[in-house]
Amino acid sequence: MIISESELTSLLEARHATPHDLLGLHYSNASGKRGLVARALLRDAATCELVELGRGEAHVMERLAPEGLFELLLPRRRKHFAYELRVTDYRGVTRSVRDPYTFLPTLGEQDLYLFNEGNEHRVYEKLGAHPRVCDGVTGVAFAVWAPGAAQVSVVGNFNAWDGRYHPMRSLGASGVWELFVPGLGEGELYKFQIRDQQGATRVKTDPYGTYFEAPPNNAAIVCNPRRHQWQDAAWLGRRTQNAGRLDRPVSIYEVHLASWRRDPGNPERLLSYRELAPQLADYAVEMGFTHIEIMPVAEHPFDGSWGYQVTGFYAPTQRFGTPEDFAWFVDHLHQHGIGVILDWVPAHFPRDAFALAEFDGTHLYEHADPRQGAHMDWGTLIFNYGRNEVRGFLTANALAWLDRYHIDGLRVDAVASMLYLDYSRKAGEWIPNRHGGRENLEAIAFLREVNDLVHHYYPGVLMIAEESTSFPGVSRPVRDGGLGFDYKWNMGWMHDTLGYFGKEPVHRKWHQNDLTFGMLYQYAENFVRVFSHDEVVHGKASMLFKMGAWHIPEKAANLRALYAHMWAWPGKKLLFMGGEFAQSHEWDYRRSLDWHLCQYPDHEGVRRLVRDLNRLYTSEPALGEHDLDSQGFQWLACHDHEASVIAYLRRARVGDAQLAVIGHFTPLVRKKYRVGVPRTGLWREVVNTNSEYYGGSGLGNDGARHTDPVPADGHAQSLLLTLPPYTTTIFKWVEG
């Protein structure tokens, strides 16, 4: 036996950090043992022969341990050669394999340098598991970052999950461990067995895994995520042409895939990506939405997290199919003219023992100090944005979704929790930044970097922030000192407006400012108007039952008036699924939406209205343009709080297009109500939310009104209108 007892023990106990120094083919200069030495560690091997490729000469290897460690000395030989191992197991079955420990590292010094620097933007093609051909041999290259580990092995079905048989090579100070395993391919399940510096072992899934098996095992699956043949070149070309054109119609339908629609014959069965795509595409086209936004589909173990507690950041969830199926889903929507926005969660991650938490026995991805690393609201962990490799992991993750799956936008979740060190913390529970302030400088730098990189590599892709505070410049360019997002959710407008419509009509006159206050900060950011999933869960009631009225028809009338006001008000639009047909129940992630309600006028009428509002919004320049600057808006009247009436004008960038919007939010009929307008002539009634077609009474203004030469609201002419109860009416000027 040439190997020492201590080296033998370290291999058999999976404690050796540089197994390539012992396994494979090496030159021995030891006295009396000069020559080439080959060693192999093979599970379930009774005998092993080394077969020289080309020459065909076979050499019997000596078994040094029953665990399957074999050794061979070829005296006086110096030149390395290619070989394979002919292994016979205890059942007498013989197989030939290539030795993993004869291959050079699949990562180069430049790869590792950029990774450690946080600037390897395609690190997802380097770390993880990748089918490759090395030296003409097919196999899988595994690589994982675990700088605090004493030893790492890749384990899977191919070695009975035994960490002794495929120990990985440490690539020095980079903290990366690597191994090419010949003969493996797609479909193999695997994890990483990591021994920490204290000798304890843990088994972790791959942070860069592209596909996972279902809980509770959560193993990664070797997968090529680029198998789909894309057919969306025309869509991507149009998207690139729109780069920088933020002032255009964007109407987003927010969807939770597991509960949008299920198999009618088996409500417990989730529809697949390939089943959902045609139905969603057809529905989005019918309803006039420009985009769908999918609540997180990155792999997550707990359905009740709705996808916001991610354990597989690079993997579309297996719940609905394979990565190739997900690519087909996106492609199908693109071919039908619908963009796909993905909820992305770089703010935190769960504490599941199989995933990122204490990955290599140290606080690798998270802060060690709970005052920085523990998320107080969700019981999760906060990424350490100051660590290059962690920042690179997240930045590359954003780019990977755009690269591999052609995603059109990322809505970044919980941005406020990233920006502030004291977010949801009491005094003494947080650590100030280096200037003594509360801003998380590392997270701010990360957000700026990822926004700039997305816009650099993928022009036309939208970056949207869910940010609930008044942090300045969220949707301003990085070059101007902003965070670099394209849009920001307007949470203030949402809460004020829902607060107003949630009040009984008799009390609304005291809260007129809830409708008007938003205009004071309207153009501070590029806003998206949102009624999201967060507003229809946890006892907050559905959109329909938020309305401050007693009976369903009145609630539906209020909701119609609210939606028309939302679509007419400046800003992009987002509506959560079910809200478009006035679902009665709160959203339940465990069941399908109540589509049967669309047979009733109060629900189908709301759906018809949302469809028509989208069509008006996308076709009328007065609504789609000047969304982001004050030239597109003018108050006509906002002072009549006693009548609960507001009126405003929307204007196009060029031409004569003007729309007058009048909202009346009491149960009374107000006849001969005068509103001043800037132009004489005919104003056509293009939307009346009280139309019988939408479930209303039909009372309105006979389709149009001519101006009278009667001054009102600072204008020389005015319209004499009938204002139905709980109604928003939109008039378009058509001729002088």
SS3 of the chain: helix, strand, coil, percent, to 5: 30, 25, 45
Range list of H helices, 216-318: 233-241, 257-260, 273-287
pLDDT of residue 657: 80
Complete DSSP assignment for 404-466? HH---EEEETTHHHHHBTTTT--TTSS---TTS-SB-HHHHHHHHHHHHHHHHHSTT-EEEE-
> How far does CA 92 lie from the centroid of its chain?
51
Residue 262, both tokens = 């299920």
pLDDT of residue 256: 98
Cα distance from N-terminal residue to C-terminal residue, the chain: 103
The residue ranges of the chain whose pLDDT is under 70 are none
Write down how long the chain is.
736
Q: What sign has the CA pseudo-torsion 683, 685, 687, 689?
A: positive
Q: What are the chain's domains?
A: 5-102 (2.60.40.10), 109-221 (2.60.40.10), 251-489 (3.20.20.80)
The conformation of residue 598, written as its DSSP 8-state character, comes to: G
pLDDT of residue 165: 96
Phi, psi of 307 (to 5 degrees): 100, 0
pLDDT of residue 171: 96
Angle at 289 between CA 704 and CA 399, to 5 degrees: 150
- pTM, two decimals, is 0.96
pLDDT of residue 637: 95
pLDDT tens for 88-97 read 999 999 999 9
Measured distance CA(16)–CA(170) in Å, rounded: 10
Complete DSSP assignment for 50-86? EEETTT--EEEPEEEETTTEEEEEEET--S---EEEE
Helices (H) and strands (E) in the chain, counts: 16, 34
pLDDT tens for 562-602 read 999 999 999 999 999 999 999 999 999 999 999 999 999 99
Residues 6+ apart with CB under 8 A from 459: 240, 243, 244
pLDDT of residue 653: 77
Residue 103 CB coordination number (10 Å): 22
Closest Cα partner for 212 from 179, 187, 194? 187
Catalytic positions, written as ranges: 413, 466
